[in-house]
Amino acid sequence: MARWCWIAVAFVVGGCGPSSPSPDGGGGGGKGWVSAVGAQGLFAQTFDQETWASRAIARGDLLAVTCVGRLVGWAAGDGGAIAHTEDGGASWTWQASGLAGPLRAIRFADRSFGVVAGDGGALAVTRDGGAHWAIAKSDVRVALRGVAIAGDAGVMVVVGDGATVLRSRDAGASWSRATLPGAGDLRAAAIDHAGRLLLVVDGKGGVWASSDGGITFAREHAAAVRLDAIALAHDGTRALAAGQGGVALARSGGIWRTLATGTTADLHAALIPHEGDRDYLAGEAGTLLSSVDRVAFAAVPLGISSPLYALEDL
């Protein structure tokens, strides 16, 4: 069985951006880095969790981002686009995915092995860092919106509309398909590094938990609105979910509570950093929120009005 290093889902601390004085030096005062992608090719990042910079690196919308270490990363989005950086986001090159529609989720287990998924059941795997992408047979035509990889457990899960759950235990060579009974469209997924806890959120406001790598699920919580994002701490002890109308939820000890976000903007991304001392949420109209107490969130001024679709952590 293939084994992989773990990357947390669906979102960049210590990742796609050169720090000060250098990425390898782990700059930013040891606080970690955060980055986001969004509409019209937006790429935003901070090195100290205080000062943000943003620029466009693509013409179309960027819907997902992932990183391996502090230099190597990928972003994916409209038109089957995959952008790749080897220098912490200072420069980007384009990779040929072989796919034409929007790509909504991308995850890499290490510098070589990665998975990308998107509309119309689009699914592709690379084993050479994206130099070549091989289209995988998903046997679905729905939008696939989330990818989770737990390297220590050798588990890969892709989720999407129609309560679709795809699983692979052979590094993406084959995929099994199931439907999660009672769930709505599955919007995002997150798994801890050891594969002990997999969390999925849906368009009906459901939060679903699996302790067997996505074979079986139980609904842990039901929000009143659509949930678009889920983030999980590296060790699985904490989780953060967000969605429609500025709703955000936090999980600790298996119990979910509602958080104060101070916004009514739809939130599309959530992040619990592997480094740093702040949690993050992002969404419509350039909304970016941070929390230092894990209870209340405050706005981070980016000076943009474009929607943000994804955050990423190392």
pLDDT band (50, 70, 90) for residue 11: very low
Q: Is 17 among the domain residues?
A: no
Q: Which residue has the tokens 């953060």?
A: 240
Q: Is 86 among the domain residues?
A: yes
- What is the per-residue pLDDT across 243-256, written as a single tens digit (0 to 9) for each? 999 999 999 999 99
CATH number of the domain enclosing 186:
2.130.10.10
Q: Is 68 among the domain residues?
A: yes
Give yes or no for residue 5 having a pLDDT over 60. Answer: no
Tell me if 111 sits within 8 A of 70, measured CB to CB: no
Residue 31's pLDDT is 55
Domain that holds residue 278: 28-312
Alpha-carbon span 171 to 169, nearest angstrom: 6
Alpha-carbon span 58 to 153, nearest angstrom: 35
Comparing C-alpha atoms, which of 189, 238, 187, 181 is closest to residue 209? 189
Residue 2's pLDDT is 31
Tell me the pTM: 0.90
Residue 19's pLDDT is 38
Mean of pLDDT values over 154-159? 92
Residue 306's pLDDT is 93
Q: Is 6 among the domain residues?
A: no
- What is the per-residue pLDDT across 82-136, written as a single tens digit (0 to 9) for each? 999 998 888 999 999 999 999 999 998 889 999 999 999 999 999 999 999 999 9
- What is the per-residue pLDDT across 188-240, written as a single tens digit (0 to 9) for each? 999 998 999 999 999 999 999 999 999 999 999 999 999 999 999 989 999 99
Q: Is 75 among the domain residues?
A: yes
Q: How many domains does the chain have?
A: 1
Mean of pLDDT values over 14-22? 41
Residue 274's pLDDT is 81
Q: For the purposes of burial, counting CB atoms within 10 Å of the CB of 295, is it exposed (0-12), middle (13-18) or buried (19 or more)?
A: exposed
Mean of pLDDT values over 10-36? 47
| Sign of the Cα pseudo-torsion (57, 283, 302, 279, in order) | negative
Q: Is 14 among the domain residues?
A: no
Please state, as a whole number, how many other Cβ atoms lie within 10 Å of the Cβ of residue 100. Answer: 14
Q: What percentage of the chain exceeds 70 in pLDDT?
A: 89
Q: Is 241 among the domain residues?
A: yes
Q: Is 95 among the domain residues?
A: yes
Residue 123's pLDDT is 98
